[in-house]
Structure 1
Amino acid sequence: MYVALEQPTGARLITRDQELAVPVTLRYSSDDPLAVHFAFPAWIALDGEPVTWTFARALLEEGLGIATGLGSVHIWPCGPTDTIVELHTPDGVAMMRFRKADLHRFLLRSYTVTEPGAEAVGPALEHGLAALLDGV
């Protein structure tokens, strides 16, 4: 059974001169159980189009407790109440400050859809991995 959840929340875009309030929609779906999706409004993007960042749910969970990240997404605690999500693109870096409680609530809701460690990777991926590893 396919289940999706959304949680509107807010973040603060941190710039050199100020912090800007930004609405963000956090998304999770059972058809992509290892990932979370952060959807940002069009007005925040350089090209004027809505943008969604997709990354590992485990990365978000780990980043609530310790600094973590590889590649284009880095997450770390910022004091007792906030979490920083840093997004890297070829055009620059966006640093967003979220309330830790909002991200934690979202993760807990996602666990009611798919428990950590119980994510099914799907028959197509399993078949692909079997074919890839057949000669090993």
Structure 2
Amino acid sequence: MHATAEETVQARLILSAHRSARLRVTLTYRTDDPLAVRMAFPGEFSLDEPTEAAGPEAGDIVWVFARRLLTGGLELPSGVGDVHVRPGPGRSTLVELRAPEGTALVRFDSTDLRRFLWRSRLLVPEGEEHLHLDADRALAQLLG
């Protein structure tokens, strides 16, 4: 059986040097995918064309990236590619998400991220992720 840590937090989408928009972000960690964290953003902030949603979260935009990246970015700038995490002003953490449609910069309260990561470590301590990997399932998903 797989366990999940999930937390919904408030964040700010940085629109310009003087403007931001408040948004709800759902952070999820699952023991069946022990190396990753998920951030789900409301679909209304998508740069893509809107689609018919089957439910309240069906239209969410979900980013999946390494838990280690989020942990490291609380202290030092971290990341290559599409996701970058770095300490922000005060007690905040900035998450930069890059897609072909554009770049989004989201500011989180570092305390919220630390609490979420603590809850994820209660499920799978850092360094023990390999004990929860299911190689057969991963291979079956890869081969489709």
Q: TM-score range by the shorter chain?
A: 0.7 to 0.9
d(CA) in 1 for partners of 2:135 and 2:107? 37
TM-score (normalised: structure 1)? 0.88
Q: Deviations over 1:50-70 (max 9, x none)?
A: 210000000000000000111
Tell whether the 8 Å contact from 2:5 to 2:116 is kept in structure 1 after alignment: no
Give % identity: 41
Relative distance call for 1:127 and 1:72 in structure 2 (3 A) is closer
| Richer in strand (by share) | 1
Relative distance call for 1:2 and 1:66 in structure 2 (3 A) is same
Cα distance, 1:79 vs. partner?
A: 2.7
TM-score (normalised: structure 2)? 0.83
Once the two structures are superposed, the pairs formed by residues 42-57 of structure 1 within 5 Å of their partners are 42-47=43-48, 48=50, 49-57=59-67
Gaps of 5+ in 2: 51-58
Tell whether the 8 Å contact from 2:43 to 2:61 is kept in structure 1 after alignment: yes
d(CA) in 1 for partners of 2:102 and 2:70? 21
Relative distance call for 1:6 and 1:127 in structure 2 (3 A) is closer
Q: Deviations over 1:1-38 (max 9, x none)?
A: 31012100011000125100010000000000000000
Return the match for 2:86 from 61, 65, 76.
76
Q: For this pair of structures, how many residues does the alignment match?
A: 128
More displaced, 94-103 or 72-81?
A: 72-81
